[in-house]
Structure 1
Amino acid sequence: MFQKILIANRGEIALRVLRACKELGIQTVVVHSTADSDAMHVRLADESVCIGPPPSRESYLNIHQIVAACEITGADAVHPGYGFLSENAKFADILAAHNITFIGPSGDHIRIMGDKIEAKRTAKRLGIPVVPGSDGAISDDKEARRVAAEIGYPVIIKASAGGGGRGMKVAHTEADLEVALQTAKSEAGAAFGDDAVYIEKYLEKPRHIEVQVFGDGAGRGVHFGERDCSLQRRHQKVWEEANSPALNAEERSRIGGICAKAIADLGYSGAGTIEFLYENGEFYFIEMNTRLQVEHPVTEAITGIDLVHEQIRVASGGGLSVRQADIKFNGHAIECRINAEDPRTFTPSPGTITHFHTPGGLGIRVDSGVYSGYKIPPYYDSLIGKLIVHGRNRVECMMRLRRALDEFVVDGIKTTLPLFRDLVGNPDIANGDYDIHWLEKYLAKGE
Structure 2
Amino acid sequence: MPVARRVPIARAIANLCGMPTPNWPAPVAPGPVDATVALPGSKSMTNRALILAALAAEPTRVVRPLRSRDTLLMTQALRDLGVRVDEEGDDWLIAPGGPRPLGSVRVDVGLAGTVMRFLPPVAALVDGEVTVDGDPRARERPMRPIIDALRALGAEIDDAGRGSLPFTVRGRGALAGGAVTIDASGSSQLVSGLLLAAPRFAKGVEVRHEGPPVPSAPHLEMTVRMLREAGASVETGDDVWRVAPGPLRGGESVIEPDLSNAAQFLGAALVTGGRVTVPGWPSDTTQPGDALRGLLARMGADVSTGPEGLTVRGPGPVLGLDADLRDVGELTPVIAALAALATTPSRLTGIAHLRGHETDRLAALAREINALGGDVRELPDGLEIRPRPLHGGLFRTYDDHRMVMAAAVLGLAVEGVEIEDVATVGKTLPDFTGLWTRMLGV
TM-score if structure 2 supplies the norm length? 0.28
Where relative contact order (Cα < 8 A, 6+ residues apart) is larger, the structure is 2
- Bigger strand fraction: 1
TM-score if structure 1 supplies the norm length? 0.28
